């Protein structure tokens, strides 16, 4: 069921928000045993909100699942980490929660994720394993794997995720749903637990492009609580959603179709591009020459910002606190050693190293210069084309544990998505067929559509044409 389907049922009297929540809780109990997308859900609180739901609002009575790094007053916010799993309860609502409630939505359910959003498979969660509902022996992608898996499994109508290097788009591709990363500054980050502050962005995961457009419009807009929030009008993405691609120029970057891409993924993406051409789009070959430096650039900037952001987890103010420390330094060391998992520790160490005296200019300063070149590549490309189309990931969902002990291989799986975060531009993943991979049958693949900064209406319009 889509958001629009559910809204029609509410308006016709076929069901009520409270009755549907009861049904949804039953679906979670039945379907989530195998998938493991939910880390918690509070039916009682949701039913209290449902009792006063205003069905005249755009999202009146619609339950929306929330990634577990977005603060929701009175609910746990674990970030998939032992550090926050034991005793942290959110003392306030994130701005996106307030905006969704203002549109009538009911936040319901906390979704599993890679610890502090650091990962591409949701295998780095300290809480539980989330499986891909298409094939339970495979990963759902990450870090918003719980959000994508729940939508794909039918145990959520829609969900919120966060995207720092592809963490909405990649799990959307692996699970066969729609995932939108808005432009940087378009959606408030206030209340999102920070991973990398210059890269993070909150966005929706849904079954359809129409649902994604509706959710985006509800949560976008200026927020004085976020110093990076842009005071610009929110476009009417739904109004032009079905305008088609006739006359649009769509760029195909050669750098995204090189070695390492699975043959089935390439075939599905190329078929989708051919269908867009048949609908009247002009397909233009383009180059994004600094793409080859994107992974290295990202894995200097993101860990550096994570090292700074996660310094607040010290065992004193909130979260896990080590017992019987010898002194204050021992408290810091033991609390962080016990609270953080291996991947988070790895990135903190890497980030601290590249920011340290003697290495800042060699690594972090150079990475920022490379980031500027990557952003300029996109600016130059959008002088020629209206949007860019490419694969989301080089392969479909991999088997659980396939990259165990091999973080570099996992980092490379984000090669097609993280440039958009470095450039601050919007991107959407839309399903574009299935393929067989590594013994798996009929695994989803996604088409990525990138647009200029603040170009969400354009990429959703192209995504809708692909969906049709």
The residue from 95, 143, 394, 429 that is catalytic is 143
Q: Are the CB atoms for 210 and 463 separated by under 8 Å?
A: no
Q: What is the pLDDT along the chain (468 residues), one digit of tens a residue?
A: 999 999 999 999 999 999 999 999 999 999 999 999 999 999 999 999 999 999 999 999 999 999 999 999 999 999 999 999 988 999 999 999 999 999 999 999 999 999 999 999 999 999 999 999 999 999 999 999 999 999 999 999 999 999 999 999 999 999 999 999 999 999 999 999 999 999 999 999 999 999 999 999 999 999 999 999 999 999 999 999 999 999 999 999 999 998 889 999 999 999 999 999 999 999 999 999 999 999 999 999 999 999 999 999 999 988 999 999 999 999 999 999 999 999 999 999 999 999 998 899 999 999 999 999 999 999 999 999 999 999 999 999 999 999 988 899 899 989 999 999 999 999 999 999 999 999 999 999 999 999 999 999 999 999 999 999
- The pLDDT value given to residue 179: 98
Give the CA dihedral 162, 163, 166, 171, nearest 10 degrees: 10
The residue from 95, 144, 167, 173 that is catalytic is 167
Q: Are the CB atoms for 232 and 454 separated by under 8 Å?
A: yes
Q: Which residues contact 378 (CB under 8 A, 6 or more apart)?
A: 288, 388, 419, 423, 425, 450, 452
Query: Got the DSSP string for 94-156?
Result: -HHHHHHHHTT-EEEEEE--SGGG--SSS-S-SS----BTTBTTB---SSSHHHHHHHHHTS-
- The pLDDT value given to residue 37: 98
Which of 343, 348, 306, 298 lies closest to 196 in space, CA to CA? 306
- The pLDDT value given to residue 405: 85
Retrieve residue 434's tokens. Answer: 């299935």
Q: Which residues contact 138 (CB under 8 A, 6 or more apart)?
A: 131, 132, 174, 397, 398, 399, 400, 440, 443
User: For residue 416, what is the domain's CATH number?
Assistant: 3.90.1300.10
Distance CA 56, CA 103 (A): 9
Q: Could you tell me the CA-to-CA distances from 379 to 103, 252, 301 in Å, in that order?
A: 34, 15, 21
Which of 159, 143, 122, 163 lies closest to 35 in space, CA to CA? 122
- The pLDDT value given to residue 317: 87
Distance CA 280, CA 138 (A): 37
**67: annotated active-site residue:** yes
Distance CA 160, CA 107 (A): 10
Distance CA 58, CA 140 (A): 30
Rounded to an integer, what is the distance from CA 100 to the centroid of its chain?
17
DSSP structural state of residue 399: B
**143: annotated active-site residue:** yes
Helix axes 456-467, 209-219, angle to 10 degrees: 160
Instruction: Find the domain containing 380 and state its range.
Output: 1-468
Total domain count, the chain = 1
Query: Got the DSSP string for 334-354?
Result: HHHHHHS-HHHHHHHHHHHHH
pTM score of the predicted model = 0.97
- The pLDDT value given to residue 106: 98
Retrieve residue 265's tokens. Answer: 């993924």
Distance CA 4, CA 106 (A): 15
Distance CA 370, CA 390 (A): 22
**419: annotated active-site residue:** no
What 3-state class would DSSP assign to 266? helix
Rounded to an integer, what is the distance from CA 76 to the centroid of its chain?
20
Rounded to an integer, what is the distance from CA 408 to the centroid of its chain?
21
- The pLDDT value given to residue 429: 98
- The pLDDT value given to residue 357: 87
- Is the peptide bond prior to 54 cis by the omega test (within 30 degrees of 0)? no
């Amino acid at each position: 069921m889509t958001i629009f389907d559910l809204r029609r049922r509410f308006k016709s009297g076929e069901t009520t928000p409270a009755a549907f929540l009861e049904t949804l809780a039953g679906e979670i109990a039945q379907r989530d045993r195998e998938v493991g997308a939910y880390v918690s859900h509070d039916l009682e609180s949701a039913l209290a909100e449902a009792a006063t739901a205003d069905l005249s609002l755009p999202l009146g009575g619609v339950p929306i699942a929330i990634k577990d790094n977005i603060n929701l007053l009175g609910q746990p916010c674990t970030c998939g980490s032992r550090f926050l799993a034991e005793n942290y309860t959110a003392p306030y609502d994130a701005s996106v929660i307030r905006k969704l409630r203002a549109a009538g939505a009911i936040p319901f359910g906390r979704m599993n994720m890679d610890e502090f959003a650091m990962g591409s498979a949701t295998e780095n969660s300290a809480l539980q394993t989330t499986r891909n509902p298409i094939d339970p022996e495979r990963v759902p992608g990450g870090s918003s794997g719980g959000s994508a898996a729940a939508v794909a499994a039918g145990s959520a109508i829609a969900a919120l995720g966060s995207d720092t290097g592809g963490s909405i788009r990649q799990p959307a591709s692996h699970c066969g749903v729609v995932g939108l990363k808005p432009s940087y500054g378009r959606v408030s980050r206030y209340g999102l637990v920070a991973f990398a502050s210059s890269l993070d962005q909150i966005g929706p995961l849904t079954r359809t492009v129409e649902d994604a457009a509706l959710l985006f419009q509800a949560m976008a807009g200026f927020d004085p609580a976020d110093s990076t929030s842009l005071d610009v009008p929110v476009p009417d993405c739904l109004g032009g959603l079905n305008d088609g691609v006739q006359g649009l120029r769509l760029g195909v970057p050669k750098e995204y179709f090189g070695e390492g891409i699975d043959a089935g993924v390439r075939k599905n993406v190329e078929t989708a591009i051919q269908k867009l051409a048949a609908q009247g789009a002009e397909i233009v070959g383009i180059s994004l020459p600094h793409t080859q430096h994107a992974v290295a650039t990202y894995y200097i900037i993101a860990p550096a910002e994570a090292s700074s952001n996660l310094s607040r987890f010290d065992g004193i103010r909130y979260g896990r606190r080590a017992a019987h420390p010898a002194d204050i330094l021992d408290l810091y060391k033991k609390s962080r050693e016990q609270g953080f998992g291996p991947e988070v520790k790895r990135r903190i160490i890497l980030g601290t190293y590249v920011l340290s005296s003697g290495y800042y200019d060699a690594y972090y300063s150079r990475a920022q210069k490379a980031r500027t070149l990557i952003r300029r590549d996109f600016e130059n490309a959008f002088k020629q084309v209206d949007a860019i189309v490419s694969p989301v990931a080089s392969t479909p969902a991999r088997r659980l544990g396939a990259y165990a002990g091999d973080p570099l291989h996992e980092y490379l799986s984000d090669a097609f998505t993280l440039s958009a975060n470095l450039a601050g531009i919007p991107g959407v993943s839309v399903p574009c067929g299935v393929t067989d991979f590594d013994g798996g049958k009929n695994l989803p693949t996604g088409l990525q559509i990138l647009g200029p900064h603040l170009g969400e209406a354009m990429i959703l319009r192209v995504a809708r044409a692909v969906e049709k």
